[in-house]
Chain A
Amino acid sequence: MSSSSTSSHPPSPHSAGVVDVVMPQMGVSVSEGTIVEWRKQPGDWVEYEEPIVDISTDKIDTEVPAPAAGRVSEVVVAVGTTVEVGTVLARIATDAKPGEAHASEHAGNGNGTVSEPPTSEAAAGTGATPAPATASPAPEPAAATPGDAPGPGHRDQRRRYSPVVSRMAAEHDLDLSKIEGTGRGGRVRKQDVLAYLEDGGASAVEERPEPPMHIESPYRPEPAPPRAPTPPPAAAPAPPQAAPAPAQPQAAPSPPPAPAAEPAPVASGHGEPLSRMRKSIGEHMKRSLEIAAHCTTIVECDMSAVERRRKQIGTTALPIVARCVVETLREFPALNAWLEGDTFTQHDQVHLGIAVSLGGDGGLIVPVVHDAQDLSDEGLGRRIRELARRARDRQLSPDDVRGGTFTITNPGQFGAIAATPIINQPQVAILDLEAVVKRAVVITDDEGNDSIAIRPMTMLCMSWDHRALDGAYAAQFLTALRRRIEAV
């Protein structure tokens, strides 16, 4: 398609060597032609533009003039054959002389000998490469844009991000300066971000000691949790404060191997008034404990499916679990409710509160994903990230924290395996997601055979208000939730 194969005639009739006679382009749309009759035979002399062969196309019949004067050295295409435009039909030796007998040609131009160097013109004829005449004629419209010139400006390109890269960085909460760019001038491009994410980059913001067993919080603690001065060995299960005590029942009084250091006789320190936020959190928590009949139910849950799914869609586990919670709440509406005094209100919509730690001693806030029932897990993930970002930037509006009907809290990344959260009034329940840890569990196959397997397990701990419902309902909810999570 590239180049209409314009035959490259006429080269100077006096030029030495061999000139090809090609099937010409006869008219607008003709692509092939048929040889009707050869007017010249090998050995015949032909003048420049003298008819050498008659051809027929589906539009016209015509004769082909010789592209150069010389002696016909070879007829390539036989009468009756149909060939494409540009195909070599015959060759003319142009260094022969009119009077000479054709047999007298010099070595290398012998009649019928295959003498030509790789016939560049023949190749041109097939359209594979443009004929020399058309190769580089007029100044091609310059393809390079002025701004592309390499130069000092190039360096700066490196930290200018395209829209898609910026968006992905926001979605995955990435620090782009940590990503190596392979684009022009070291530019970070989409595939660099994708590769980074594939390598687990999202959670690799800090060098991480084998992390993925933890449900990741929607937020990243602003200053990284205090780290040991020496980098933890890569295989260490978790930083010290996160080391889950496997197999230890939650309530078991595990006397910590406390260093027998002498306690300081008097604790030193200086007093400071509580921040407004701490005070407010304290008041709410205390009030909730006073008015609600708190009770906590715990169900253990296999997170294998969630781990798989979250890798697929590139989120944390939270939105996937949140999606399951929303769906299960639709089956158990009494948990998606408010209890205010003697008034119990069940809600049709699920406005899902997500507890977000503000890092350090900044406290805790619960932004609300409104109408969570309308969102996919990807949509939930996006909304949660956005709310968490605004929470950290102190940009939440009052509407962002109002109207929650159920709350999820997930301090799981810090390694605790169970907790008894306090209900966010006037809601009637709060679900706590804790660390996901590998455990040996007994699984039963379809035929009833038991075996021991290593599975990522977590505890679903839900505090609920005994004024509003009873334990059987809470347990049924958690069991239904577990089924959903395990079948994600």
Chain B
Amino acid sequence: MATMTYLQAISDGMRQEMRSDDRVLVMGEDIGVFGGAFKVTDGFIDEFGSDRVMDTPLAESGIIGTAIGAAVVGMRPIAEMQFADFITCGFDQLVSVAGKMYYRQGLPVNITVRLPSGGGFSGGPFHSTNPEAWFMHAPGLKVVAPSTAEDAKGLLIGAVRDHNPVLFLEHKHLYRRVKGDVPDGLYTTPFEARVAREGTDLTVIAYGAMVHTALEATEDLDGASVEVLDLRSLVPLDEEAILASVRKTSKVLIVDEANQTCAAGAQVAAVIADRAFEDLDGPVRRVATPDVPIPFSPPLEQAVLPSVDRVKEAARELLEY
């Protein structure tokens, strides 16, 4: 057990999995000699060599396409998008090729795509995206999004070992802000939700950075007992955990950092409306980013991202409902 940042935990998970399994390799823009834009792969090239730590051209479709090819012949590539935003350039390879390969040809595509995502640091409209919902909509892809250092390592190793293409959303805002005890050695975290805090009066459902926003916002709400559910995995979505919590509290607030329309939280809300209707004691409320690009200006960015205050206000309203 060691205390690590979220970023160190991801790095540790990759390094250990590469040591134990020589089919695992990493590829991406400036991840080798430079160690990655966020230094996640710092030092990797010295340990594993340039055959397994590959600097690629600035071409996401090439990176993902190459990874798919490597996976088809038995490798377990981890492809890094420098920023999650850039994955749009690799969309076709991911959605049309990787997601449908097993369906069409019975070939597993054992790739992991790391997506440094999310805003909150004035990254502006090209460096702050939360793209998960696009891929939740595409069959054949799994999508996970850790909120803690321990889960970051466990979910990453789980993603590398999963036989499906897995999108691993690592939140940039958490990289060095979140620290925690991380077990030594290799372990996997199941693609299931986790109760971040138990409660009885209201359930707040979130993932990634919003878990911390939810926890902070509901830490002391006039003594209300608020449950916070950390989804951890968006595909598969842990419907049973969601329903169990809703059946207990009967009130739900869903927080998305992504743009509101068709976000992961919209799917969660639909599941609840469909399968927990008779357990609801209030409307299913959502707090999300409005459907606008993430502004560069710090005050404007803070105005659009779900803030502790907005979550607090929505939670209060539901509690009083």
Contacts and interface: CB of A to CB of B under 8 A. Distances in A.
B145 interface: no
Contact of A164 (B175, B280, B298): B280
Contacts of A191: 201
Interface string B12-47: 000000000000000000000000001100000000
A143 B127 CA distance: 27
B321 A6 contact: no
Interface in B107-157: 120-123, 127
B162 interface: no
A167 B123 CA distance: 48
Interface string B282-318: 1000010010000000111111100111100110010
A190 interface: yes
Interface centre among B216, B302, B313 (most CB of A within 10 A): B302
A163 B280 contact: yes
A363 to B, nearest CB: 33
B120 A164 contact: no
Contact of A141 (B39, B216, B290): B290
Contacts of A334: none
A164 B279 contact: yes
A184 B278 contact: no
Nearest to A2: B308
Contacts of B304: 138, 141
* Interface of A: prevailing SS: loop
B177 interface: yes
B121 A4 contact: yes
Interface centre among B127, B212, B308 (most CB of A within 10 A): B308
A166 B175 CA distance: 46
Contact of A143 (B120, B277, B310, B320): B310
Nearest to A3: B302
Interface stretch (A26-34, A36-44, A48-56, A204-212): A26-34
B303 A143 contact: no
B307 A4 contact: no
Interface string B169-200: 00011011100000000000000000000000
Contacts of B278: 163-164, 166-167
Given A29-B38, A190-B250, A4 B314 contact: no
A189 interface: yes
Contacts of A190: 250, 281
B321 A183 contact: yes
A183 B173 contact: no
A385 interface: no
Contacts of A58: 39, 176
Given A2-B308, A29-B172, A138 B280 contact: no
Given A137-B299, A164-B250, A4 B282 contact: no
B307 A2 contact: yes
Contact of A163 (B173, B279, B301, B308): B279
B250 A6 contact: no
A140 B127 CA distance: 23
Contacts of B300: 137-138
A134 interface: yes
A126 interface: no
A28 B38 contact: yes
Contacts of A133: 298-299
Given A30-B176, A31-B177, A164-B280, A140 B308 contact: no
Contacts of A134: 298-299, 302-303
B279 A29 contact: no
Interface size for chain A: under 10, 10 to 19, 20 to 34, or 35 or more residues? Answer: 35 or more
B7 interface: yes
A140 B289 CA distance: 11
Given A163-B279, A163-B280, A165-B281, A29 B7 contact: yes
Contact of B123 (A28, A141, A143, A164): A28
A144 B321 CA distance: 12
Contacts of B233: none
B314 A143 contact: yes
A59 interface: yes
B299 A138 contact: yes
Contacts of A472: none
A58 B310 CA distance: 32
A164 B123 CA distance: 44
Interface in A154-171: 162-167
B11 interface: no
Contacts of A130: 302, 307
A2 B121 contact: no
A28 B307 contact: no
Nearest to B177: A31
Contact of B122 (A4, A59, A163): A4
Contacts of B280: 162-164
A174 to B, nearest CB: 15
B258 interface: no
B121 A3 contact: no
B213 interface: yes
A16 B143 CA distance: 53
Nearest to A130: B302
B232 to A, nearest CB: 17
A484 B303 CA distance: 63
A164 B317 CA distance: 18
A394 to B, nearest CB: 26
16 contacts: A1-B209, A1-B213, A2-B308, A6-B302, A28-B38, A29-B176, A58-B39, A130-B302, A137-B300, A137-B302, A138-B300, A143-B313, A162-B250, A162-B281, A166-B278, A167-B279
Given A6-B298, A28-B121, 17 more contacts: A1-B209, A1-B213, A1-B308, A2-B216, A2-B309, A4-B121, A4-B298, A4-B302, A25-B122, A29-B173, A130-B307, A134-B298, A143-B317, A163-B277, A183-B320, A187-B321, A189-B281
Interface of B: 7, 38-39, 120-123, 127, 172-173, 175-177, 201, 209, 212-213, 216, 250, 277-282, 287, 290, 298-304, 307-310, 313-314, 317, 320-321
